[in-house]
Structure 1
Amino acid sequence: MTELAELPGYLIRRLQQLAVSMFVTTMGEAGFDLTPVQFAAMTVIGQEPGIDQATLASRIAYDRATIGGVIARLCQKGYVARAIKPENRRARVLSLTTSGEQVLAQVTPMVMSVQTEILGDLTDSESAQFLDLLRKLVAGR
């Protein structure tokens, strides 16, 4: 009989569930309605103002067909502004609003704390090794 705890796919899925749960709980307790994907999108938009939706989807490894819904929710919350790209009227360019910049600045330290909590039972050396191995596994895929 196969032990689930021996399957990397199962363990990765469980860790992802735990990470999302920690993130959502932390955001909720702080009064923010923000998902990990929304945070990732806001972070990249903040780093690359004027980025288009397709490029954003690629940067955060998210499906191009559904990134529009993520952006629509961020626009509804007043965190992101979407405009038509002048040289390609089908493309939308994105920027953080002042409110979005403020929220991102407030939640980033909390998100960093969650990252530490996710790795909580690992030593500093184990954490570094684990992150190196994760990067190796996702590189080029």
Structure 2
Amino acid sequence: MTTDLHDLPGHLIRRMHQISVSAFAAETKAAGVDLTPMQFAALCMLWENPGIEQATLAGLVAIDRPTIGGVVARLEARGLLERGVSPSDRRARILNLTEAGAALLREARPLVQRAQDAMLGELAPDERDTLVALLLKATRAETSPSRTSRQPGGGPPASGSRSDTV
């Protein structure tokens, strides 16, 4: 039995990820914005969920705790977020955006939108909507305990979340 590589969803998803990262890098670099896709995701989640614990942030952006620790450390070193001790659990760290972090997020949002438009430029608006709906459905199906505690687009935002725009 022969399987054409270009018919395998895993291969196509990997290629789409490459395209996505490349488009993100092109837009941010052209604008002189020093930000990675994972840092952008972390800033977005902190904007929407001020004062969350670092472990919760890891779940919201669907990465493991050690990796989010590095992301948080780099953002903190740049003055984009503040890390403090949780009043309810002294072992836990709570996170908040600084004004510099919120400003960078405001600057990055239109760049990220342009990157999305670039990577999906060949799709009609209804095809884009379908693709996003199918990706949401596929990612919600992921039930591994090591993944997010709150699936993208599912359930209510965490307590204290911000629904206003950046």
Give me the TM-score of the superposition, normalised by structure 1: 0.95
8 A contact 2:23–2:116 mirrored in 1: no
The one-letter code sitting in structure 2 at the alignment partner of 1:129 is: T
Identity %: 45
Q: 1:116 corresponds to which residue?
A: 117
Q: 1:21 corresponds to which residue?
A: 22
CA distance in 2, matches of 1:129, 1:140: 17
List runs of 5+ in structure 1 lacking aligned partners.
none
Q: Structure 1 residue runs of 4+, over 3 Å off? A: none
Greater Cα shift, 99-108 or 2-11 = 2-11
**Larger RCO, structure (CA 8 Å, separation 6 or more):** 2
8 A contact 2:27–2:114 mirrored in 1: no
Q: 2:37 corresponds to which residue?
A: 36
Q: Which structure carries more strand by proportion?
A: 1
Q: How does 1:78-117 map to 2 (within 5 A)?
A: 78-117=79-118
Q: Which structure carries more helix by proportion?
A: 1
1:66 match: secondary structure: helix
TM-superposition CA deviations, 1:63-119 (whole Å, max 9, x none) = 112211000000111111111112211111001111111110111111111112111
List runs of 5+ in structure 2 lacking aligned partners.
143-166
Question: Does residue 132 in structure 1 map to residue 133 in structure 2?
Answer: yes
Greater Cα shift, 1-10 or 35-44 = 1-10
- How many residues are treated as equivalent by the alignment? 141
CA distance in 1, matches of 2:141, 2:72: 26
